[in-house]
Amino acid sequence: MKQKESEPRFGFMTRNYLVLTLTSTLWGIPTSICNTYFSLYVFGLGGTEITIGLIMALGSTTFVIFAIIGGHIADLHGRKKLIGLMTVILGLSQFLTAFAPNWQFLALAIIVTNVCWIFEPAFWAILADSINEKKRGTAFAFYSCLSFLPWAVVPSIGGYLIDVHGILPIMRWSYVGLVIVGVTAGIIRLFMLTETISLQNRQADKGFSLKQIGSLVKDAFKGHLQTWSWMPHSALALTASYILWAFEYGLVEPYWIVYAEEIIGISSTQWGIIIGIGSAIGIVSKILIVGKLLDKFSRRKILLATTALDAFTYLLFIRCGMFVQVLALWIASSFIWSFYDPTYSSLEADLIPQERRGRAFAAFSVAWSAFTVPASLLGGFVYERVSPELSFVAASVGVMLCFVLTALFIKQPERNEK
């Protein structure tokens, strides 16, 4: 008789997992242009670096409020309908961003789109629900790999088109593309996802009267405060690390391309090539290395190694003086960055039980987004009025603090699931 074969490597691919992964990949096609060149879009609509920070702060503030409500709905009323319907509405809301006549209207559009991201806690909860613990590292690495696959090709095409035709027409058409893929992805999710919260654990729908909606919002915020009381110490430490990452995001994320073009002298086409090659490196790394390491070794130790190496990225970037130097740095950094999403996602799922993941994931998102608000305002001011280099130095310090926090306070639980 043949011995029982070991579990297949891709045995984690449940129906929910495939639906969420493939629709996220579809969403990434236009998003890889919109996100890469968003700062230039703000400039094209008459904004400045401070304007970028203000728009991001407004979006983050809106997301904080609605993520709390979304996490509450996900755990008590289910995940599937919320994800499907709000993905469709999110897609339609991109019309506002596509045809913004100035940066003020763009700010309003970003507020509306962040309202639609109310489904994000439900998204991550249902994804975590659909993955066996022993395969979380591989599964989250594979998800991250496929969902970012468009970033390996599309940004370089977008950069070339922007250099030829200008920023406004290309960005407008890219956001129209988001409308199409958003509606398509939402319909697919609505009809193909399977609910992961059982009927006995869900509260009955109470309708949509103003009184009932008000009660839901009140319960959501009350439940959010209670979430912090039962969250494990390591999960609280993980939340604190997200606060540090929020400041890194506000200080430098919108300004990589601004610094590259204005200080180093790189064109949009060259920046697209850098993003594309870096994304390809990240994808290959996740396929061949990241998932296996996360399932074999301590996720906490891998996170420590990643943050230790990443702290130097920002300092080296401001020392670059030409395209080849930036490209070389981005290739090395992309390998390091490829560990972040799968590692953090795996740790989140390890630390939080299934029935509380919606609210807990909302708490993680809220912690990050809430501190992105002051960080974005500070980042725009520091970059424009003080020193572009100081933004990157401060971000490097933040990553170093994240390393210390992880080393001292985050403990990985034992794996008990079969």
What the chain holds in terms of domains, given with CATH numbers, is 15-409 (1.20.1250.20)
Q: Compute the average pLDDT of residues 328-347.
A: 92
Of 160, 186, 191, 146, nearest to 272 (Cα)?
160
pLDDT of residue 4: 44
Whether residue 291 has pLDDT greater than 90: no
Residues 224, 231: Cα–Cα separation, whole Å: 11
Residue-wise pLDDT tens digits, 380-390: 999 999 999 99
pLDDT of residue 43: 95
pLDDT of residue 408: 92
pLDDT of residue 148: 85
Whether residue 19 has pLDDT greater than 70: yes
pLDDT of residue 286: 86
pLDDT of residue 21: 92
Whether residue 65 has pLDDT greater than 60: yes
Burial 323-352 (b: 16+ CB within 10 A, else e): beebbebbeebbbbbbbbbbbbbbbbbbbb
Whether residue 214 has pLDDT greater than 60: yes
Residue 385 structure tokens? 């009025």
Q: Compute the average pLDDT of residues 353-373.
A: 79
Whether residue 7 has pLDDT greater than 80: no
pLDDT of residue 225: 76
pLDDT of residue 417: 42
Higher pLDDT among residues 4 and 134, named by residue: 134
Residue 5: band (very low, low, confident or very high) from pLDDT cuts 50, 70, 90: very low
Q: Compute the average pLDDT of residues 17-28.
A: 93
Residue-wise pLDDT tens digits, 227-249: 777 888 888 888 899 889 988 98
Give me the percent of the chain exceeding a pLDDT of 90: 56
**Summary mean pLDDT of the chain:** 87
* pTM assigned to the model: 0.81
Residue 195 structure tokens? 């609910």
Residue 208: band (very low, low, confident or very high) from pLDDT cuts 50, 70, 90: very low
pLDDT of residue 3: 43
Residue 188: band (very low, low, confident or very high) from pLDDT cuts 50, 70, 90: very high
Give the 3-state secondary structure of the chain: CCCCCCCCCCCCCCHHHHHHHHHHHHHHHHHHHHHHCHHHHHHHCCCCHHHHHHHHHHHHHHHHHHHHHHHHHHHHCCCHHHHHHHHHHHHHHHHHHHCCCCHHHHHHHHHHHHHHHHHHHHHHHHHHHCCCHHHHHHHHHHHHHHHCHHHHCHHHHHHHHHHHHCHHHHHHHHHHHHHHHHHHHHHHHHHHCCCCCCHHHCCCCCCCCHHHHHHHHHHHHHHHHHHHHHCCHHHHHHHHHHHHHHHHHHHHHHHHHHHHHHHHCCCHHHHHHHHHHHHHHHHHHHHHHHHHHHHHCCHHHHHHHHHHHHCCHHHHHCCCCCHHHHHHHHHHHHHHHCCHHHHHHHHHHHHCCHHHHHHHHHHHHHHHHHHHHHHHHHHHHHHHHHCHHHHHHHHHHHHHHHHHHHHHHCCCCCCCCC
Higher pLDDT among residues 273 and 65, named by residue: 273
pLDDT of residue 1: 37
Q: Compute the average pLDDT of residues 3-17.
A: 63
Residue 341 structure tokens? 């999403």
Residues 236, 230: Cα–Cα separation, whole Å: 10
Residue 354: band (very low, low, confident or very high) from pLDDT cuts 50, 70, 90: low
Whether residue 55 has pLDDT greater than 70: yes
Whether residue 117 has pLDDT greater than 60: yes
pLDDT of residue 418: 36
pLDDT of residue 195: 85
Residues 43, 110: Cα–Cα separation, whole Å: 15
Whether residue 217 has pLDDT greater than 80: no
Residues 293, 339: Cα–Cα separation, whole Å: 10
Q: Compute the average pLDDT of residues 222-228.
A: 76
Instruction: Give me the phi and psi of 414, to 5 degrees please.
Output: -70, 150
pLDDT of residue 211: 59
Residue 102's CB: how many other CB atoms inside 10 A?
Answer: 10
Q: Compute the average pLDDT of residues 209-223.
A: 68
Instruction: Count CA atoms within 13 Å of residue 33 on its CB side.
Output: 26
